A and B are shown apart, each in its own frame.
Chain A
Amino acid sequence: LAKTTQPISMDSYEGQEVNITCSHNNIATNDYITWYQQFPSQGPRFIIQGYKTKVTNEVASLFIPADRKSSTLSLPRVSLSDTAVYYCLVGGSARQLTFGSGTQLTVLP
């Protein structure tokens, strides 16, 4: 299993860019990297997914270096509503999916 390591918590201020890094040293060749967001009392919500290099969508960017042993989720200009837990997942099959403990992001006014 590709175990992931993320910071337990991060604080930021409104309007700042936030970067959350995930380490996955034993990522396998066919593993994708996926990030989810979870608000209290809700199920996780998909943010972004990538395999290598950089992926960008309307809410975030995902940076993956050439060795793929880590990845960085970048949230531009965060707002109070971005306060949530962010999970990094690595896996190539359903059985390998592990959410880990996630990163609690708190956005301050």
Chain B
Amino acid sequence: NAGVTQTPKFQVLKTGQSMTLQCAQDMNHNSMYWYRQDPGMGLRLIYYSASEGTTDKGEVPNGYNVSRLNKREFSLRLESAAPSQTSVYFCASSGLPVADTQYFGPGTRLTVL
């Protein structure tokens, strides 16, 4: 099992460009999450999906959209990237929301110039 995979690993964008970060899990988990981590900071929840077909905002959703394509995949889209979105993005999944272990992917390091 690969666990949680994320693509790409690194990305450089110019201000105003758009891109989609991909995340997939092979653990048959119901819940999936997107976090961002700025240098020297903890992770902040952007969006989550408690189950297939549902998504909800987290702590810092502005500037992002998500799609729960199916049970395995949860994508994060930046429609018009801004330098403030320079960060490391982590995807995670769990069998249940919160009261269950979250498994994290390796992260995507995004730089917006």
Which A residues contact B (CB, under 8 angstroms)? 32, 36, 41-46, 49, 87, 91-102
Q: A94-B45, A97-B98 are in contact. Are A43 and B106 (CB under 8 A)?
A: yes
B105 contact set on A, CB distance < 8 A: 43
Total residues of chain B contacting the partner, CB 8 A: 28
Give the residues in chain A near B98, CB-CB below 8 Å: 32, 91-94, 96-97
Min CB distance A97 to B, Å, is 6
Give the residues in chain B near A49, CB-CB below 8 Å.
99, 101
Tell me the smallest distance from the CB of A85 to a CB of chain B, in Å.
Answer: 8
Does the CB pair B45–A97 fall under 8 Å? yes
- How distant is B41 from chain A, measured CB to nearest CB, in Å? 6
List, sorted by A's number, 15 A–B pairs whose CB atoms are closer than 8 Å: A32-B99, A43-B4, A43-B107, A44-B102, A44-B104, A93-B97, A93-B98, A94-B33, A95-B57, A97-B58, A98-B42, A98-B45, A98-B59, A99-B43, A101-B40
Q: Which residues of B contact A101 (CB under 8 A)?
A: 40-42
**A2 CB to nearest B CB, Å:** 11
Contact indicator per residue, chain B 15-32, by CB within 8 Å of chain A (1) or not (0) = 000000000000000010
Q: What are the nearest 7 A-B pairs in CB distance?
A: A43-B104, A99-B42, A99-B43, A46-B101, A94-B48, A94-B97, A100-B42
Chain A residues near B57 (CB-CB < 8 A) = 95
